[in-house]
Amino acid sequence: MNNFVYYNPTRIVFGKDTIKKLSQLVPEGAKVLMCYGGGSIKRNGVYDQVMDALAGWQVVEFGGIEPNPDYDTLTKAIDLGREKGIEFILAVGGGSVIDGAKLVAAGIRYHHGEAWDIVTGDKKVHLGEAVPLGTVLTLPATGTEMNGNSVISRRATEEKHPWASEAVYPVFSILDPTTTYSLPEHQVRNGIVDAYVHVMEQYATYPVNSPLQDRQAEAILLTLHEIGEKALETPPDYETRANLMWAATNALNKLIAKGVPEDWATHSIGHELTAFYGLAHGESLAVVLPHLLWHQREKKAEKLVQFGQRVFGLTGERDEVIRQAIAEMSAFFNRLKMPTKLTDFQIDPHEAAERIQARFEERGTLLGEHDDITPQEVAEILRMSQ
């Protein structure tokens, strides 16, 4: 097992009727910036629950953070936060709202340049250099409620980049599974696939003798297999949604990544597909992962065999187990009504391959757990997505 440091300061408050606990979690007397998205929280009652709980606080609202949060929107929130002397940020919504709020939290306190420097990594944000932030999560998917990551899009330049800092771990996250009842089916589907791919990016690499992390990763995958289809059903079942929410958080609170190699190639390619073609995050991953695993099957062979044996109960010859494991995974995505080919979204794989290869060449990007997937190979992977 590799050396590691594990830091995770987020307090999780989980379960029904927990939004009212905001009154015990938000620092007393703090001036709060409440960030939210396009209005789902006003339609499903979450907004009212939050406002009731914060009745004694001075709350400034910032709504309109879009899916794949846009940098130009977030700079407005940063200006507002500075103008109002904001001391605490509460993000209420899905991954986009929370990721956006993380940039706002760091941007308010960054005075030596543009907040975009934070996204590009030119400005490293150290502990204490962001306004403290709490969240009320309404979409199980990203894990952002219990990590220090944030992914920001910039539509003006068709870019989408991740950044991370220990300073933007939420101090608390409220996870009330009933807030997910209003999600449209495709958002639940996107969330399940996102969580699944998070696990795969931290698991399907090469063995380093980490039986505990491997079995924790497999436990999340098996849980998603067990509950995935039921989670799409209406009316929603509380236990299923509760287990989905906790599984998605555990898929990216970084515990399963400790001491093991990580891949993240699928995410890097997926972010470009979102930037160029507007695919939802989960969709962008599902059209890449099966093809990437097949393309990289020799380097990932031992873990893919383990995946096939332990997650799907496959037996038999090595190459056949690998082939079947990837096919079973795609079939699971398809049962969730998630397409696994670019052509299913009317995107030309050859065009996508060319555009993304050119961009990665320009940036000198190398991907995968060995940093050896070249832009040329990324293009090969994308061309397989048909």
Closest CB to ligand NZQ among residues 95, 132:
95
Closest CB to Zn ion among residues 194, 369:
194
Closest CB to ligand NZQ among residues 147, 330:
147
Residues that bind ligand NZQ (CB under 6 A): 37-41, 44, 67-68, 93-97, 99, 138-139, 141-144, 147, 149-151, 179-180, 182-183, 187, 190-191, 194, 252, 267, 281
Instruction: Kindly state the smallest distance separating residue 270's Cβ from Zn ion, in Å.
Output: 7
Crossing angle of helices 185-203/318-335, nearest 10°?
160
263 scored as a contact of Zn ion (CB under 5 A): no
Whole-angstrom CA distances from 57 to 33, 88, 167 are 10, 11, 24
Q: Backbone dihedral region of 371: left (phi > 0), alpha (psi from -120 to 50 degrees) or beta?
A: left
Closest CB to ligand NZQ among residues 9, 85:
9
Instruction: Kindly state the smallest distance separating residue 146's Cβ from ligand NZQ, in Å.
Output: 9
Let me know: does 164 contact 106? Beta carbons within 8 Å. no
Look at residues 153, 161, 163 and name the one whose alpha carbon lies nearest to residue 71: 153
Instruction: Kindly state the smallest distance separating residue 241's Cβ from ligand NZQ, in Å.
Output: 10
Q: Where are the beta strands (DSSP E) in 49-193?
A: 58-62, 88-93, 133-137, 149-154, 159-164, 172-175
180, interface contact from ligand NZQ, Zn ion, none, CB < 5-8 Å by kind? ligand NZQ
Cis amide leading into 170 (omega within 30): no
Whole-angstrom CA distances from 313 to 17, 252, 272, 309, 310 are 39, 25, 34, 5, 5
Closest CB to ligand NZQ among residues 184, 364:
184
Let me know: does 142 contact 99? Beta carbons within 8 Å. yes
Question: Which residue has the closest beta carbon to Zn ion?
Answer: 194
Instruction: Show contacts with Zn ion in window 231-260 (CB under 5 A).
Output: none
Q: Which two tokens stand for residue 301?
A: 């062979």
283 scored as a contact of Zn ion (CB under 5 A): no
Instruction: Kindly state the smallest distance separating residue 149's Cβ from ligand NZQ, in Å.
Output: 3
244, interface contact from ligand NZQ, Zn ion, none, CB < 5-8 Å by kind? none
214 scored as a contact of Zn ion (CB under 5 A): no
Question: In which residue are the tokens 């990594």 written?
Answer: 121
DSSP 196-251: HHHHHHHHSS---S-HHHHHHHHHHHHHHHHHHHHHT-SSPPHHHHHHHHHHHHHH
179, interface contact from Zn ion, ligand NZQ, none, CB < 5-8 Å by kind? ligand NZQ
Instruction: Kindly state the smallest distance separating residue 56's Cβ from ligand NZQ, in Å.
Output: 25
Closest CB to ligand NZQ among residues 22, 151:
151
Binding mask 182-211 for Zn ion (x = CB under 5 A): ------------x-----------------
**H or E element in which residue 304 lies:** helix 301-312
93, interface contact from Zn ion, ligand NZQ, none, CB < 5-8 Å by kind? ligand NZQ
Closest CB to Zn ion among residues 22, 342:
342
